[in-house]
Structure 1
Amino acid sequence: MADSREHVLEGTRGTLVVREWPHERPRYVALVVHGYAEHAGRYGDLADVLVAHGAAVYGPDHVGHGRSAGERVVIEDFEDVVTDVHAVAEVAHAAHPGRPVVVIGHSMGGLIAARYAQRYGDGLAALVLSGPVIGAWETPGRLLAEAEAHGEVPDIPVNPAALSRDPEVGAAYAADPLVWHGPMKRPTLEAFLRTLETVAKGGDVGALPVLWLHGDDDRLVPLAGSRIGVERLSGGALTEHIHAGARHEVFHETDRDVVLGELLRFLDGVLAA
């Protein structure tokens, strides 16, 4: 596994811990935007592949996640998280001036990355969305309705088996002390609803190349709901790869080598252009 180092930034709501997988002379910068309840450290294998491909890779732990500050898994405003990711991009720009930047967002990170592209797309070379929370995602509304009916958000943690057909992925997730295994929090659910609407109304990303990767057996973020959002977000430069039988984390799936090959071919095309 490639060496990594940490940066500590002052984020919008406290200390932000950022992992960097460095490259001495990168062709490009990749910002990896992790999903709900997890942390950037789960993307070490992806970072290894990107570094070998010529990238300097940066991944922040979002507020309330991993080793960053904040009450666990509480995100009151995703606009603040987008601002935090932009602060990381500025660190990367300072270290590697003139290098093209791509953002790779998974799940909740796909929602953050989509909004990032709407706000800061002029500074991006490409956007990659993996199992993105975008479009029609019913989970927040359903959990909030149950909270209204019963007085609290139901404790329904992520089922590790829903992540990948590889049982080692689920076992590692279940044993990871930096992963949150408890219930979702009301402020975060409310923020999801607001930001899904904001992205839906925020317009497309124009000519920015977009790669969409999704498993057709994703039960956490179903394919059909994401398609609505991805097609609305894309300005027309959309490449999609839907993987038969794959679950939520396509970068950790049993056919991950195929997925990573698709990612690198897409990035090669972007960099060549």
Structure 2
Amino acid sequence: MPFFEGARGRLHYRRWPVRQPLAVLEWLPGSGQHTGHYHRFARALGAQHIEVWGLDTAGQGLSEGDPAAPGSIDELAADALRLAALIRRELPDASLIVAGHSLGAATALTALAALPDCAGLVLTGTPTRAATPDALVPEGLPVLALHGVDDRRAPIDPIRDWTGRQQSVGLREYTDAGHDLLHEPVHARVTADIAEWVRGVVASAVRTPVE
């Protein structure tokens, strides 16, 4: 099983390999979750030629650490950057999409400044504390935010305000859905929306400019 040394101990990561992937998506789960919860999601993306790598946060899944103390947001971002470096070493030519749910979404936003080659960002269940006016997305970077209208853990209104202030951030809302979109009845539609968006980002990146 693959591991690396993280900010708070030995961390486990999981890879769902795809032959000649169009893109690779680094998945950062939410609090209390681990990569074992995302086989369905990863396999569905794999069918669309998107390879998924996922990280078990410190204290979750097969990673070392205290489940009640996964680390500061900066430590979590450092762990995400370590995994991104491993992905880059293995798949240097694939477009890298960084994605996360809840705490993972906050981690992805924090790590973004140190990921200059990131092709896009996918956020689900983004916490209100992460969607602050200071959380600015680099100009031109494609970002997809997905959120349940009935999310009680992270109410949607602050996310609507945050995405509305960003030039390249799109928001997709799901009625009759709460916080954990990939484990709710809408999961298939959410997964399909993510796959379609990633493929669009890759297509835009390789499109030859008109002279």
Q: Same fold (TM over 0.5)?
A: yes
Q: Give 2:177's aligned residue.
A: 246
Contact 2:8–2:71 (Cα < 8 Å) also in 1:
no
| Counterpart residue number, 1:263 | 194
- The Cα offsets for residues 167-189 of structure 1, whole Å up to 9 and x where unpaired, read as xxxxxxxxxxxxxxxxxxxxxxx
Runs of 4+ with deviation above 6 angstroms: none
Gaps of 5+ in 1: 1-5, 136-195
Q: Does the 8 Å contact 1:63/1:73 carry over to 2? A: no
User: Shift of the alpha carbon at 1:231?
Assistant: 4.1
Cα deviations by residue, 1:226-269 (Å, 9 ceiling, x for unpaired): 3344445x3x1122110111111112221222222211221121
Aligned to 1:227: 160
| Cα distance in 1 between the residues matched to 2:159 and 2:168 | 17
Separation of aligned partners in 2, 1:262 and 1:40: 20
- Equivalent position of 1:24 in the other structure: 19
C-alpha distance in structure 1 between counterparts of 2:186 and 2:150, whole Å: 14
Alpha-carbon separation, structure 2, partners of 1:64 and 1:15? 10
Consecutive unaligned residues in structure 2, runs of 5 or more: 205-211
Residue 125 of structure 1 aligns to a residue in which SS? strand
Question: How many residues in Structure 1 have an aligned counterpart in Structure 2?
Answer: 204
The verdict on how the C-alpha distance between 1:133 and 1:40 changes in structure 2, with shifts beyond 3 A counting, is same
Task: Report deviation, 1:223.
Answer: 0.8
Residue identity in the other structure for 1:33: L
Which has the larger displacement, 249-258 or 83-92?
249-258
- Structure 1 residues 118-148: Cα deviation after superposition (integer angstroms, max 9, x where no partner): 332x21111001111144xxxxxxxxxxxxx
Matching residue of 1:85: 80
The answer for the alignment partner of 1:14 in structure 2 is 9
Higher helix share: 1
Map of 2:140 onto structure 1 = 207
Point out the structure with the larger strand share: 2
Letter aligned with residue 67 of structure 1: L
Alpha-carbon distance in structure 2 between the residues aligned to 1:203 and 1:256: 28
TM-score (norm 1): 0.70
Give identity over the alignment, percent: 29
The CA deviation at 1:104 is 1.4
> Which residue pairs with 2:38 in the alignment?
43
1:195-248 Cα offsets, whole Å, 9 max, x none, are: x49x6435332211011111101111111133344445x3x1122110111111
**2:56–2:62 CA contact under 8 A, matched in 1:** yes
Number of the residue aligned with 2:114: 119
Structure 1 Cα separation of the partners of residues 128 and 118 of structure 2: 19
Pairwise CA RMSD: 1.8
Partner SS state of residue 105, structure 1? strand
Counterparts of 1:147-226 in structure 2 under 5 Å?
196=130, 200-226=133-159
Q: Distance in 2 between matches of 1:119 and 1:230?
A: 21
Residue 41 (structure 1) shift: 1.3
1: CA distance between counterparts of 2:194 and 2:134? 28
2:178 alignment partner AA:
R
| Separation (CA, whole Å) in 2 of partners of 1:75 and 1:229 | 26
Q: What is the distance in 2 between the residues matched to 1:203 and 1:260?
A: 25
| Higher mean displacement: 13-22 or 249-258 | 249-258
